[in-house]
Amino acid sequence: TDITEMSIWEDAQRMLEKARKDGVETAWDRLAQQTPHCRFCELGTTCRNCVMGPCRISAKAEPGGKLSRGVCGADADVIVARNFGRFIAGGSAGHSDHGRDVIETLEAVVEGHAANYQIRDAAKLTRIAAELGIAVEGRAIIDVAADVVDACYSDFGSRRKAVNFVSRVPAKRKEVWDKLGITPRGVDREIAEMMHRTHMGCDNDAPNTMLHAARCALSDGWAGSMIATELCDILFGTPTPRKSTVNLGVIKKETVNILVHGHNPVVSEMILMAAREPEMIALAKKAGAEGITVAGLCCTGNELLMRQGIPMAGNHLMTELAIVTGAVEAVVVDYQCIMPSLVQISACYHTRFIDTAAKARFTGAIHMNFTPENAREEAHKILHMAIEAFAERDPGRVDIPVEPVDIMTGFSNEAILEALGGSLEPLLDAVKAGTVRGFAAVVGCNNPKIKQDSANVGIIKELIKNDIMVLVTGCVTTAAGKAGLLMPEGAEMAGPGLRNLCGALGIPPVLHMGSCVDNARILQLCALIANSLGVDISDLPVVASAPEWYSEKAAAIGLYAVASGVYTHLGLPPNILGSQVVTDIALNGLEDLVGASFVVEPDPVKAAELLNQRVTSKRKALGL
Ligand code: BF8
Ligand code: SF4
């Protein structure tokens, strides 16, 4: 493939050329080898859930005809729904198990054996505790934290009532969920139930499986992810607006470069803390470097960008290419979205590839078993390794292709409220006046099937032109940043209303709200707005889009957004098209059930237009 068709970015294109020269294989190369994909799998009509199979349903099969049912008798609808259900369960498990790891870290702090972590935002802890119905008056903060830990743990497991943060959900939305029986209970319960339902001979009614998929996703959005976000703010500080930089240019020729990759800031925060210690910097200088750069990849990068302002090296499809610069001493990973190919690519250079989680090990990696107890020690060891690697760097193989671009980050809901003077009113007034016509959350990944970031950036530009304020998380953040959309000056690309508002507030037209678990911030913001207007989330001029998504987690996010009432665009479909019933539920049926649905559209301009129309119709229905 022509390199200019693979990514819209100069840094990516330059590194793709270098990768070819250096003999490094990338995701794009492997995609070409895998294409065409298995048609049955693409349509979702393969089943491997038991060993009477594996079975596959022919797309051409007549009902009741040859290859229309698996050995057990399951038809295409049942098989597609089951596969989709497990896909959603996988995504919900990823976010939520990450959330559980954060609870464990707070618990270790409470119990006094994680001296290197602390409660950095005690005010938020108190606020959350009060929200959870925990007594706070006159109590020691550590005792309050202990109760918050217990309350959060109780959101996992076999509970029969709703997860805690359903308290945030607008009353009308709760009614919708109760009526359908999809109010989320325990996170683990919903995930386990999905595994149970999709065992041979259980839930053999596609619409029923789809409803549980929604419930499972809701337990992620309103519990697993929400807990991850809120507790990370308590442990590491609630983000406030700050400046940083983005693209491969943040990797510096002169410094020891450490990339943190994965999702859980419990690891990356420690790496950063160690890298900022004077003794470490002195050590790096002794090795001939000017200092130490810790830069982010993917979501753990977003976490540190939001709270600490570290520079962002890149998103999903930049992870391999970052190493190809030849200037990365160490890649430190925790879990999720880490291509196993990074081990081989690291080995082509002097790069140390270090995994840190017992549950996410990579063959060929250096393994460090990070725990809340030993985190600082392990971080120091990693710093030593990186500094040592600096001596092995081959300057002849270093190519850092571009200069970094400036970005603004740190727009937590708390920060947004503060910027508005403590109340949502000014923002709601702007919406009522039509200055801001609505909001769009543009989130998710890269996928080598789509020219990297072409859709992510394309959709955002169209939306802001139409005075729709955009909120970004996850890998879309880097895309927006590189395009200059995360700076107040980016408002020049916006329509007149949004441009004026951004000018008045000194904010960008696209607000960075964090990592993928931080989509929970957007859920909460939607709930706050809906509650203050006394309407349902589905009544708001709010839409969502995952233009270049690839993961189970992104599908879970999409589904909890829809089930929460947000019309959601996907740039490519999940593997469900082999079932008319399932496809029809996703694109239409959900609208009647939960007041929102998915829409699939590969073309960014057309997609933005569909989202824009939705905003218009919601405004009209509200009398705006
Ligand atoms: O959780 S946006 S590629 S890094 S899945 Fe992964 Fe997608 Fe990036 Fe973060 Ni989210
Ligand atoms: Fe085949 Fe049914 Fe077994 Fe699936 S569960 S592999 S469709 S027999």
What is the rounded CA–CA span in Å between residue 29 and residue 328?
22
Residue nearest atom 9 of ligand 1, based on CA coordinates: 299
Which long-range contacts (C-beta less than 8 Å, at least 24 apart) are formed by 2-10? 5/451, 6/448, 6/451, 6/452, 7/317, 7/451, 7/452, 7/453, 8/451, 8/452, 8/453, 8/454, 8/457, 9/247, 9/452, 9/453, 9/482, 10/401, 10/402
Please report which helix (H) or strand (E) contains residue 590, including its range: helix 590-594
374-399: average pLDDT:
97
Amino acid at 589: G
Residue 366's pLDDT is 98
Q: State which ligand 1 atom lies nearest to the alpha carbon of 550.
A: 7
Query: What is the 358 CA–ligand 2 centroid distance (Å)?
Result: 33
Summarised one tens digit per residue, pLDDT across range 282-333 is: 999 999 999 999 999 999 999 999 999 999 999 999 999 999 999 999 999 9
Residue 38's pLDDT is 96
Q: State which ligand 1 atom lies nearest to the alpha carbon of 94.
A: 1
CATH no. for 248-397 = 3.40.50.2030
* Per-residue pLDDT at 158 exceeds 90: no
Residue 63's pLDDT is 87
Q: State which ligand 2 atom lies nearest to the alpha carbon of 79.
A: 7
CATH no. for 406-621 = 3.40.50.2030
Q: State which ligand 1 atom lies nearest to the alpha carbon of 299.
A: 9
466-470: average pLDDT:
98
Pocket probe for ligand 2: among 40, 45, 50, the residue whose CB has the most ligand atoms within 8 Å is 50
What is the rounded CA–CA span in Å between residue 567 and residue 612?
11
Summarised one tens digit per residue, pLDDT across range 184-237 is: 999 999 999 999 999 999 999 999 999 999 999 999 999 999 999 999 999 999
Domain ranges of the chain: 76-236, 248-397, 406-621
Contact between 495 and 466 under an 8 Å Cβ cutoff? The reply is: yes
CATH class of 76-236: mainly alpha
Token pair 């729709």: residue: 468
Residue nearest atom 7 of ligand 2, based on CA coordinates: 70
Residue nearest atom 3 of ligand 1, based on CA coordinates: 445
Residue 69's pLDDT is 97
Nearest to 564 by CA among 622, 523, 521: 523
Query: What is the 298 CA–ligand 1 centroid distance (Å)?
Result: 6
Q: State which ligand 2 atom lies nearest to the alpha carbon of 53.
A: 6
Confidence of residue 1 (pLDDT cuts 50, 70, 90): confident
What is the rounded CA–CA span in Å between residue 440 and residue 612?
9
Pocket probe for ligand 1: among 92, 333, 445, 473, the residue whose CB has the most ligand atoms within 8 Å is 445
Q: Interface pTM (ipTM) of the complex? A: 0.97
Residue nearest atom 7 of ligand 1, based on CA coordinates: 445
List of E strands, 249-363: 256-261, 292-297, 312-314, 330-333, 352-355
Contact between 307 and 514 under an 8 Å Cβ cutoff? The reply is: no
Bridge partners for 17 per DSSP: none
* Per-residue pLDDT at 109 exceeds 90: yes
Tokens of 66: 């040859």
567-574: average pLDDT:
98
Residue 233's pLDDT is 98
Range scoring the smallest mean pLDDT among 21-25, 64-68, 245-249: 64-68
User: 171: which residues sit within 8 A by CB, 6+ positions away?
Assistant: none
Residues with CB under 6 A from ligand 1: 263, 298-299, 315-316, 337, 444-445, 474-475, 516, 551, 553-554
What is the rounded CA–CA span in Å between residue 287 and residue 349?
18
* Ligand closest to CA 78: 2
Pairing, β 292-297 against β 352-355 = unpaired
Residue 31's pLDDT is 98
Q: How far is CA 610 from CA 58, 461, 464, 604, in A?
A: 33, 14, 14, 10
Residue 582's pLDDT is 98
* Per-residue pLDDT at 429 exceeds 90: yes
Q: Do domains 76-236 and 406-621 have the same CATH topology?
A: no
